[in-house]
């Protein structure tokens, strides 16, 4: 079942098209990655799926509901994480998670917070003020917030930014286990090519608000005649046509 169905989605800010008519689906149990340079439209797309920005044109259906008119029906079934969106600094990590757990209507918030504290190794910082945490620690707390309600749709914007390689690898493994156990759909925006190669079933390559290529990581690497996804990313970002791959706008 398609959890996400996006059709001809556009977002304009004046004369500038941040997103220029993109279409894609994300099925249950699938991870789709949005890949592109700064300004390619990744975060704007995620913001529209969350209902934080209104599309200029096109449609978004989540769980077969129109996000424009049925947002309240779908929000309890989804969640979001980004290291660029701060939680209240004066509250402890536990207090932040408790407030969000109540907002999501969890029946046993303390139990769920304890599960995530153990799973994400938050024990040493759970009662510290969020504002006193390092960037990497804040990223882990934000991910815990995103998993509180065991979302069926998880939107991730740079989920391992600021994490050291060991912790980032551990978080990726946790996401893989979470998805396997729950069948959640994941939409991932990342600049970490190794992360995308590992997690993504399909990659949407964006440039200037348009999808210019798509496929599995292995398929894109093969068609561009490259060794890894980072080299494919550079070809697309610099508008180079390589091998059998045709970059189209």
Domains of the chain by range and CATH?
A: 2-88+152-237 (3.40.50.300)
What pLDDT sits at residue 247? 42
Pairing status of strand 202-207 against strand 210-215: antiparallel
- Of 130, 187, 140, nearest to 161 by C-alpha is 140
Q: Does the reported pTM lie above 0.85?
A: yes
Structure tokens at 211: 């999808």
CB 42 within 8 A of CB 237: no
What pLDDT sits at residue 241? 60
77 DSSP 8-state letter: G
pLDDT tens per residue, the chain (249 residues)? 799 999 999 999 998 999 999 999 999 999 999 999 888 999 999 999 999 999 999 999 999 999 999 999 999 999 999 888 889 999 999 999 999 999 999 999 999 999 999 989 999 999 999 999 998 899 899 999 999 999 999 999 988 888 889 889 988 999 999 999 999 999 999 888 999 999 999 999 999 999 999 999 999 999 999 999 999 999 988 877 655 454 443
Backbone dihedral region of 88: left (phi > 0), alpha (psi from -120 to 50 degrees) or beta?
beta
Structure tokens at 44: 């704007």
Q: Is the dihedral of CA 103, 104, 108, 109 positive or negative?
A: negative
CB 146 within 8 A of CB 158: no
């Amino acid at each position: 079942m398609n959890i996400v169905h996006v059709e001809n989605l556009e977002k304009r800010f004046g004369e500038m098209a941040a997103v220029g008519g993109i279409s894609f689906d994300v099925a249950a149990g699938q991870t789709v990655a949005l890949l592109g340079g700064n300004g390619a439209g990744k975060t704007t797309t995620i913001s529209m799926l969350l209902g934080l920005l209104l599309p200029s044109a096109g449609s978004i259906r989540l769980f077969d509901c129109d996000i424009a008119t049925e947002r309240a029906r779908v929000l309890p079934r989804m969640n979001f994480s980004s290291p660029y969106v701060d939680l209240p600094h004066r509250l402890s990590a536990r207090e932040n998670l408790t407030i969000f757990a109540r907002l999501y209507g969890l029946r046993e918030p303390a139990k769920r917070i304890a599960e995530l504290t153990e799973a994400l190794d938050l024990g040493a910082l759970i009662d510290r003020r969020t504002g006193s945490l390092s960037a990497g620690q804040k990223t882990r707390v934000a991910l815990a917030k995103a998993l509180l309600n065991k979302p069926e749709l998880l939107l991730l914007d740079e989920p391992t930014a600021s994490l050291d390689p060991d912790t980032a690898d551990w978080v990726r493994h946790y996401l893989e286990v979470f998805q396997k156990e729950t069948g959640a759909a994941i939409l991932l925006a990342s600049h970490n090519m190794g992360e995308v190669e590992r997690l993504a079933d399909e990659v949407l390559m964006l440039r200037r608000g348009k999808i210019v290529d798509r496929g599995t990581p292995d398929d894109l690497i093969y068609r561009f005649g490259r060794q890894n996804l980072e080299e494919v990313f550079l070809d697309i970002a610099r508008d180079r046509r390589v091998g059998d791959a045709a970059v189209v706008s």
